[in-house]
Chains A and B, each alone.
Chain A
């Protein structure tokens, strides 16, 4: 079957799915949705449909990216607007279904947006939601719209058209198109994708490998998981195009084991693509063949690094190698190999289908296109967004993310995970592109953006990241293995309040040594979170060291717990909870904490029902 015939068939399936004359209940069942309780809702919804004889089909979809409002359910029926409901739970779901299907009442308090149909005064259209308005969705265009486990949905929305077109072009023309788009690696380093392909294409050898890096290990990042869970075929298509361009006949997708749902959906997607001859032997009747295998990671952050990932696929400890030789010359099983990140590959079908110039319309001169970000931390609207590069941090955090909740003040945004840095308030108008973020001492990274407010201690954040990198260091380079440990010990002593002022300079010196003396990206960038926090929040370090105060009130060793005499009723709960018997007092009399004995564990604070225990 050729592509046109496949699409014809797929459209029948898709029209049936998107037919406005059929009632339908769509549930977002990505990992986020399930974590928020979508699994429990499915059972209730199915039960409702059966018992009340509602003629509606219940279907899974991917992630719309509005994670703050999960679990999300979209309801459709003939003659009514399709409405998206959010923040549903077992208590309010039935009323919501009754209102929609039985009472024709749309203005449910949980109604978030109109997906399609006539406008209703009280409910905005999906595209007008503040979180959606500023977004341009290319890599995430199918998220929450198609059923990720149905290949026909993907094909009906022009999926695999980019592959069909590529197979009619020469290998060189495909590479030229990708080069012209200006697409750069979305895994963090930002190397131009087309040039990377060209290196591998030009490397001598008959056997080449195409590898997809889905080892998204940065804490605070879930862009790749969302792509794999919500639109796995976009990655498979991108990977197959890449394999054609470089001349590879075998490929691996390396996915971290913490993403079981992504692995399950990928397995199904590969099988379906094989059945339709979109991967495998003689793809779409051409001379090009390409097989894809999935490799599950085994829990090592360093395997996100290219050479370590290759070692892991080969069945070895994931230790990076020095380059050259680059993987393009000698990679997996010593053959020329090309590695691209999941999101990079998800952009490829669009570039081939719509042309490089359409892709390059978005973005800045050196950073073309759009980028997905995982917006998390102390922010009102957490979720997954895709925005044109060059957008400012302020627009992302305040317009799209809705700013900081609970009336607190913005303090910093952490980009790029353990390799990135903390960007302060003064730099909120910084346009987000690869160069500008690097100038600020952070990096674009894979796209995690963790927002912090005044209750976050920057020294603690620096300590958190260094303790992460020191435990994930593979141990090959001494400066990384021992240096990160020394940095962690110094930061520990600062958060305990027993450090010296000069320790700040020692941290800077150690950071510089680790950066220069490490082989791979993990070590070279590990000091970034410490160095940027020292650069922008030095006074907070000094407060800890000189005055033994944690201004954010977060470092437990620098806190004092005291009992408010006016509020204490002498219930004895705190004295019973104290593990070191530091609290004394008779029943019905005011209690007191012995500061010498107190270990600042916070147990008394947790158990007091009268807010009588004060933390300062």
Chain B
């Protein structure tokens, strides 16, 4: 199943984003953030278009995309599962949460399931350390998570 965005549809999405900017180099990161919000990831074809729009080399755009952890070059799963790996979470069992989720979904960190339903990521810290361990599912933060609860949360998404 292809989840890639290309051709006319991509052009339209990009136009909507570009219309809100002046087209100067310092806008690169916000432009990339908006493109990713619109497309779910940063398609390779978008890189050249962004480079033209901001009048900067495509290599520079690519350099920025690959530097920051937030940008993806591949389509992502529908449900975004993020497990916090901050110090407090680490001390309170984040590895265990990650382990049970990986086993359940059959994927490693940074991967999507074959049906693009789930996407698993580790994040350095969400700053909800007092409620460690923390997991974030589609921007909803869950605190004091046990391995059992983590699995229940996943079950709640697929049903």
Contacts and interface: CB of A to CB of B under 8 A. Distances in A.
B87 A377 contact: yes
Contacts of B134: 35
Interface size range of chain A in the complex: 35 or more
B91 A221 contact: no
B41 to A, nearest CB: 14
Interface in A298-320: 298-301, 312-318
Interface size range of chain B in the complex: 35 or more
Contacts, number: 146
B99 to A, nearest CB: 8
Contact of B88 (A68, A301, A316, A377): A377
A465 B140 CA distance: 26
A296 interface: yes
Contacts of B142: 35
B30 A36 contact: no
A213 to B, nearest CB: 15
Contacts of A472: 124
Nearest to A34: B141
Given A298-B32, A315-B29, A317-B64, A450 B126 contact: no
A472 B129 CA distance: 20
Interface stretch (A149-157, A183-191, A253-261, A505-513): A253-261
A383 interface: yes
A335 to B, nearest CB: 13
B156 to A, nearest CB: 13
A177 to B, nearest CB: 32
B128 A31 contact: yes
A386 interface: no
Contacts of B131: 32, 35-36, 67, 70, 382
Contact of B124 (A295, A314, A468): A468
A536 interface: no
Contact of A382 (B69, B123, B129, B139): B129
B147 interface: yes
B67 A317 contact: yes
Contacts of A39: 140
Interface in A212-264: 216-222, 225, 257-260
A315 B124 contact: no
Interface in A53-84: 67-68, 70
A606 interface: yes
B101 interface: no
Specify which of A314, A376, A384 lies most central, judged by the most chain B CB atoms within 10 Å of its CB: A376
Contact of B91 (A317, A333, A450): A450
Interface in B3-45: 25-30, 32-33
Contact of B130 (A67, A318, A456): A67
Interface string B47-88: 000000010000010011001111100000000000001111
B83 to A, nearest CB: 13
Contacts of A300: 67-69
Given A32-B131, A35-B134, A258-B125, A299 B26 contact: no
Given A450-B91, A468-B124, A606-B147, A316 B68 contact: no
Contacts of B70: 257, 297-299
B88 to A, nearest CB: 4
A258 B141 CA distance: 11
List the 7 closest A-B pairs by CB distance, nearest first: A67-B130, A299-B69, A219-B86, A315-B28, A298-B68, A35-B143, A220-B87
Interface of B: 25-30, 32-33, 54, 60, 63-64, 67-71, 85-92, 99-100, 103, 123-132, 134, 139-144, 147
12 contacts: A31-B126, A31-B128, A35-B128, A68-B130, A219-B86, A258-B123, A296-B29, A315-B26, A374-B130, A376-B87, A384-B130, A464-B90
Interface of A: 31-32, 34-36, 39, 67-68, 70, 216-222, 225, 257-260, 295-301, 312-318, 333, 374-378, 382-384, 414, 417, 448, 450, 452, 456, 461, 464-465, 468, 472, 474, 601-603, 606
Given A219-B89, A220-B125, A222-B130, 6 more contacts: A39-B140, A68-B130, A298-B71, A314-B26, A317-B67, A378-B91
